[in-house]
Amino acid sequence: MSLARFLVKRALQGVLVVWGVVTVVFGLRFISPGDPANVLLPPDVDPQVRQQVIAELGLNKPLHVQYFEFVAGIPVGDLGLSLVTRTPVTGRVLSKVPATLELAIAATVVAVVIAIPLGVVSATRRHEPADYGATLFSLLGISTPNFWLGVMLIIVLAVQLDLFPTSQRPIGLDGVFGLLVAGQVGNAVDGLLAWAWHITLPAVTLGTYFTALITRLTRSGMLDELGKTYVRAARAKGLPETLTRYRHALRNTLIPVITVVGLQLGTLIGGAVITEAVFAWPGLGTLIINSINARDWPVLQGSLIIVAVGFVLVNILVDTLYAYVNPQVAFD
Amino acid sequence: MTADDRLDRRAFLKLTGGAATTAALAGCSGTGGSEGEGGGSTEASTDSGGESTEMSTETSESGGSESTGDFPVTIVQGNMPSGLDPHDHRETPTDVVMLHAYEGVLTRTADGTITEALATGYERVDGENTVTFTIREDVPFHNGDTLTPDDVAYSINRIVQEDVGFASPQRDQLAGVTGAEATDETTVTVQNDGLNPIVFSEFATYCDVMQQSWVEERSKAEVGQQMNGTGPFQLESYTEDEEVVFTPFENYWGDAVEVTELTFRAASEAGTRVNQLLQGEADVIVNVPPQEVQRVNDNSGTRIAAAPSTRIIYNAMRYDVEPFSSQQFRQAMNYAVDLNSIVENVLGGFGSPTGQPTLESFVGHNPDVEPYPYDPDEAERLVEESGHAGVEIELNTPVGRYLKDLEIAQAVAGFIDELPNVSATVRQRDFGSLVDELLTGNIEDKPPWYLIGWGEATFDGGLVMTALLTSDGALSSWSNEEFDSLLADAGDQSGDTREATLQEANALAHDQAPWVFLNRQYSVYGVSERVAWEPRSDERIDASAMTPQ
């Protein structure tokens, strides 16, 4: 199958997946307890006022009409109006994407920077103290709940030692970029520092599980590669050990690792919910939590659709590259 | 083959790096565009304005001790306002933000007393169902225009008349008010559908005044994104979901404020709010849970400030199902619960016991009615007398809606379960579905025994009892002819006569025991030591009353 056909096929599958997400979320809306009107209005509201508000929000229309209206809006980017603020959902959700993307990418950077060297050391010094240390670190990282780690980091590093702020995102990378374009280089540098200072704790919190995962993956991949014939051949040829390890074995190890990193990026975008709530980070996660509390279904649906689209795109990208690089995996 | 393979892998690695960079760049550059698309020009410009303001705030905050005259205050609530239209919301967090920019004709002092704001006088017109307000002169709006009685009348009509604006969810907060008009250069006359004994009480709590021409020149969405009131603070920037920033309004008609910049933010997690306070990122935070009180008090720069709120917590019992249909049984439930112990041990002292539906300092509170004493022997005796010994009952409670709601419910059920002749359990409920059941209008849909809370910012016991205990009250699961007729009488009375009728109704409710009477909830705030401020019963956080200390 050609690349073009593969892409078309995956794009169509992606559309189906997003449609499925929309339908499931819409279905959940009608089986979940809590009428949005009862959350928006206190119990003592005059029943007539309640009816008027319900009509104004369009909540009195039949289910299938609400569903088709919602689905029909998606291709033109219209995700409806928020029940709480009555503002368009599309703009509101998209404005939260950069914050979450920044967090996911920063967490990935934290993970990759720590995990790959750690995994390599662990594999090359197998059964030595360094390996045991790395293993212990991975175990702790995998078994520590995100929210607990976040709260602990805040209490120790922010409140006790006063090294980092506990919350907020004073400026985004887009803001830094804007300052740079406007020629305010000094402010842009200050902005970048403020950004890095604020994102460190959330990124470490979100990235810890991921770090542990990649450490283990790099370790086992590296051990696999080091035991293969070509490594032994290279050694037999008399190639320096460093060259064998890092130019040959590590490079082969990184292929599956990078695939996992790509796929996990999607998970991180979705999994940032708890971390964002702990750090009051103004991204999709915080928006999702707040819209669940407020039963603001259009905003919740919009956020989940964006997460689903992001997930699908990352998957297609990773699959395409993987198939392209490895002829054993055909485009099918 | 091998050569190809290697080439491919190298190409792959390059590509992956490139893709990551592209994604990062797309993420950055995509922002500006998408914000502009979604929110329109207003939002985009506020956004960038907000960002630069935040940057400068950050610098001034991190400077620690402020130079003379610089007194920024940050307030962190659980939720951001649902928009900036003062007539289109129904929640306390939004109200707290609104009251800094918008004012009503009347207001309340910290102890709940009604006092003048934009009106300089208010009176009933004898023999007619109308009241008049004399409007203060030379009051400027934030845009420089002067307040007129027409603006006041328009604001009232915008709430109570759907054709003037929209279906305002506040219409029944001005219950009984049918419309208003400016009758001369300083007077607004308000029509009521009857005597409306609580009309001034309503206007002291609700009805923010907006400028008619300003509202009419703007779309509904714009009114929800901008502000133009007469209050002591004017809007500096608004970033939806993130923050609202105010600066003092220099031409304010009243006393000048000391706060130089006022910022509202939100964090839904109580722990996050407490950490923000301890770290100095917030100056006032709402709803500090009892288990965090110690941390706030132990920290050198922060303290706890608590005040009785207007919210009452109770366990309603359905009068139409056994065993709750028996008055003896309902009284027994009250005797079985050690309320003082719950207030002390569950709420950490942040609550006070109640014995009637109307709270202290409310109109109609009966000072002669005491909470039920803890008397398990009497409870056991009354259960025997009611003929329901050996019954099993289940308490439905929401979780996380009120201060320590689940823990209170568990304590109540625990005390009752200790009676040898009753066994009680707790059933945790989602608040939304519990309220759905309470609001259907059919008593059969309600659980027989449930915990719920009720806040009443008007300080009027008549409104509380009508909604919660009359036969057709919005949230009632009780029916008693004598009680209904007392409340009906109070609707046609005013002053001391009405007060006496309501006191009688409270005494009747105590004896009939339609509820297990529980606690008055306290509002518990965390406050920075650099801010002098006392909390209020009506949950208003008024920054114009804050001074440096």
B73-94 burial, b if ≥16 CB within 10 A, otherwise e?
bbbbbbbbbbbbbbbbbbbbbb
pLDDT tens, residue by residue, B437-453: 887 778 888 899 999 98
Q: Alpha-carbon distance B70 to B50, whole Å?
A: 19
CA distance A240 to chain B (A): 20
- Determine, for residues B475 and A94 on separate chains, whether the beta-carbon distance falls below 8 Å: no
Whole-number Å distance between alpha carbons of A68 and B255: 55
Q: To the nearest whole percent, how much of chain A has pLDDT over 90? A: 0
CATH of A96-280, one of 1.10.3720.10, 2.130.10.10, 3.20.20.140, 3.90.180.10: 1.10.3720.10
Q: How many CB pairs under 8 A join A and B?
A: 224
Asked if the Cβ–Cβ distance from A170 to B55 is below 8 Å, we say yes
List chain A residues with CB under 8 Å of B474.
43-45
Place of tokens 């590296």: A222
Average confidence (pLDDT) over A102-127: 87
**Looking at the complex, does the CB of residue A37 fall below 8 Å from at least one CB of chain B?**
no
User: In whole angstroms, what is the distance from residue B220 CA to residue A86 CA?
Assistant: 9
Does residue B162 sit at the A interface (CB-CB below 8 Å)?
yes
Q: Are B362 and B460 in contact (CB under 8 A)?
A: yes
ipTM: 0.83
**B1 CB within 8 Å of a chain A CB:** no
Give the mean model confidence (pLDDT) for residues A99-108. 88
Residues B340-351: pLDDT tens digits?
999 999 998 899
B19: pLDDT strictly greater than 60 = no
pLDDT at A330: 62
Asked whether the beta carbons of residue B11 and residue A325 sit closer than 8 angstroms, the reply is: yes
Residue A39 or A101, more confident: A101
Which of A41, A102, A255 has its CB closest to that of B169? A41
* pLDDT tens track for B83-101: 899 998 878 889 999 999 9
Which of A40, A43, A277 is closest, CB to CB, to B475?
A43
The domain segmentation of chain A, as residue ranges, is 96-280
B38 touches chain A (CB under 8 A): yes
| Cβ separation B47–A95 shorter than 8 A | yes
Flag if A44 and B475 touch (Cβ within 8 Å): yes
Inter-chain contact B279–A324, Cβ cutoff 8 Å? no
Read off the tokens for A5: 């056909």
Neighbours of A116 (CB within 10 A): 21
For the segment B226-245, the average pLDDT, to the nearest whole number, is 93
Please give the full DSSP string across B363-427, using - where no structure is assigned: BT--TTPPPPP--HHHHHHHHHHHT-TTEEEEEEEESSSSTTHHHHHHHHHHHHHTSTTEEEEEE
Name every chain B residue with its beta carbon within 8 A of the beta carbon of A77: 37
Average pLDDT, chain B: 84
Portion 415-454 of B in contact with A at CB < 8 A: 430-433, 435-436, 438-439, 441
Number of H helices, E strands in chain B: 16, 19
Give per-residue pLDDT as tens, B285-299.
998 988 899 999 999
**Mean pLDDT across chain A, nearest whole number?**
83
Contacts of B270 in chain A (CB under 8 A): none
Element (H, E) at B262: strand B261-266
Would you call B7 an interface residue with chain A, using a CB distance cutoff of 8 Å? no
Measured CA to CA, the distance from residue A331 to residue A328 in angstroms comes to: 10
Question: Of A41, A167, A251, which has the smallest distance from its Cβ to B272's Cβ?
Answer: A167
Burial class (CB in 10 A: 0-12, 13-18, 19+), A227: exposed
Task: Answer yes or no: is pLDDT of B257 > 50.
Answer: yes
Residue in the structure block whose two tokens are 């003048």? B116
Residues 6+ away with beta carbon under 8 Å from A216:
A119, A138
- Given a cut of 60, whether residue B211 has pLDDT beyond it is yes
From the number of C-beta atoms within 10 Å of its C-beta (0-12, 13-18, 19+), residue B18 rates as: exposed
What is the C-alpha separation between A329 and B540, in angstroms, rounded? 64
Say yes or no for a CB contact (<8 Å) between B278 and A294.
no
B169 inside 8 A of chain A by CB? yes
Please give the pLDDT value at position A253.
Answer: 81
Q: Do B279 and A293 touch (CB under 8 A)?
A: no
- How far A263 CA lies from chain B's nearest CA (Å)? 12
CA B101 to each of CA A326, B40, B205, B247: distance values in angstroms, whole numbers, following the listed order = 63, 24, 15, 10
Average pLDDT value for residue range B538-547: 91
Chain A CB contacts of B27 under 8 Å are 97-98, 101-102, 105, 173-174
In tens, the pLDDT along B90-142 reads: 788 899 999 999 999 999 988 888 999 999 999 988 888 899 999 999 999 99
The answer to whether B129 and B192 are in contact (CB under 8 A) is: yes
CB contact under 8 A, B269 and A280: yes
The per-residue pLDDT for range B66-80, each reduced to its tens digit, is 445 799 999 999 888
Q: Which residue has the tokens 């008027």?
A: A52
Q: What residue ranges in B443-492 does DSSP mark as E strands?
A: 449-455
pLDDT digits (tens, 9 = 90+) for A137-192: 888 888 888 888 888 888 888 888 888 888 888 788 888 888 888 888 888 888 88
Phi, psi (degrees; rounded to nearest 5) at B532: -95, 120
| List of residues 6+ apart from A188 with CB closer than 8 A | A176, A177, A179, A180
A92 touches chain B (CB under 8 A): yes
Q: What pLDDT, on the 0 to 100 scale, is given for residue A327?
A: 64
Give the contacts of A29 (CB within 8 A, at least 6 positions apart).
A297, A301
Angle (CA) B24-B29-B30 rounded to 5° is 95
| Contact between chains at B9 and A191 (C-beta distance less than 8 A) | no
Could A262 and B16 be called an inter-chain contact, meaning their C-beta atoms sit closer than 8 Å? yes
B224 CA to chain A: closest CA distance, Å? 8
pLDDT at B25: 38
List of chain B residues whose C-beta atoms are within 8 Å of the C-beta of residue A39: 432, 435
**Which candidate, A65, A60, A72, A71, places its Cα nearest to that of A23?**
A71
Q: Which residues contact B392 (CB under 8 A, 6 or more apart)?
A: B422, B423, B424, B425
Name the pLDDT band for B548 (thresholds 50, 70, 90). Answer: very high
Across the interface, whether the CB atoms of A170 and B54 are under 8 A apart is answered yes
Tokens of B501: 């009728």
Alpha-carbon torsion B329, B335, B341, B342, what sign? positive
Beta-carbon contacts of residue B103 (< 8 Å; ≥ 6 apart): B117, B118, B208, B209, B229, B230, B231
State the smallest CA–CA distance between residue A7 and chain B in angstroms: 16
The verdict on a CB contact (< 8 Å) between A282 and B241 is yes
Shortest CA gap A129–chain B (Å): 32
pLDDT band at A258 (very low <50, low <70, confident <90, very high): confident
Which letter does DSSP use for residue A77 in this model?
Answer: T
Of A43, A88, A262, the CB nearest to B438: A43
Look-up: residue for tokens 């994604």? Answer: B23
A 166-205 near B (Cβ less than 8 A): 166-168, 170-175, 177-178, 187, 190-191, 194
The single-letter DSSP state of residue B264 is E
Give me the mean pLDDT over the B392-420 stretch.
90
Fold designation for B308-523:
Dipeptide-binding Protein; domain 3 (3.10.105)
Instruction: Enumerate the domain spans of chain B.
Output: 308-523
Residue B256: DSSP 8-state: P
Q: Mean pLDDT throughout B415-420?
A: 92
Q: Is A58 on the interface with B (CB under 8 A)?
A: no
**What does the alpha-carbon distance between residue B522 and residue B313 come to, in Å, rounded to a whole number?**
11
CA torsion angle for B41, B47, B48, B49 (degrees, to 10)?
Answer: 100
Both structure tokens of B106: 């009347």
- The answer to whether the CB atoms of A95 and B265 lie below 8 A apart is no
Please judge whether A168 and B278 are an interchain contact, meaning their C-beta atoms are less than 8 angstroms apart: no
pLDDT at A43: 66
What pLDDT shows up at residue A82?
86
Q: Do A56 and B166 touch (CB under 8 A)?
A: yes
**pLDDT-derived band of residue B277, with 50, 70 and 90 as boundaries?**
very high
* Chain B CA closest to residue A34: B432
Give the torsion sign (CA, B253, B258, B259, B261). Answer: positive
Amino acid B9: pLDDT:
44
Question: Which chain B residues are closer than 8 Å to A86 by Cβ?
Answer: 83, 88, 220-221, 224
Contacts of B172 in chain A (CB under 8 A): 44-46, 49
For residue B547, the cross-strand partners are B532
Contact B211, B147 (CB under 8 A): yes
Q: How far apart are CA B289 and CA B293, in angstroms?
A: 7
Contact B24, A105 (CB under 8 A): yes
CA distance A284 to chain B (A): 11
Q: Which of B158, B149, B156 is nearest to B215 (CA)?
A: B158
pLDDT of B49 over the 70 cut: no
A121-130, B256-265, B403-412: segment of lowest average pLDDT: A121-130
Picking from B334, B314, B308, B307, the residue whose alpha carbon sits closest to that of residue B467 is: B314
pLDDT for the residue B68: 54
What mean pLDDT is predicted for residues A92-120? 88
Tell me the mean pLDDT in the region A23-43: 76
CB contact under 8 A, B48 and A102: no
Buried b (16+ CB within 10 A) or exposed e, B526-549: bbbebbebebbbbbbbbbbbbeee
Residue B477 to residue B479: CA distance in whole angstroms: 7
In chain B, what percentage of residues exceed pLDDT 90?
51
Between B11, B279, B430, which is nearest A165 by CB? B279
What is the maximum span of chain B, computed from C-alpha positions, in angstroms?
A: 103
Find chain A residues with C-beta within 8 A of B476's C-beta: none
Chain A CB within 8 Å of residue B14 CB:
no
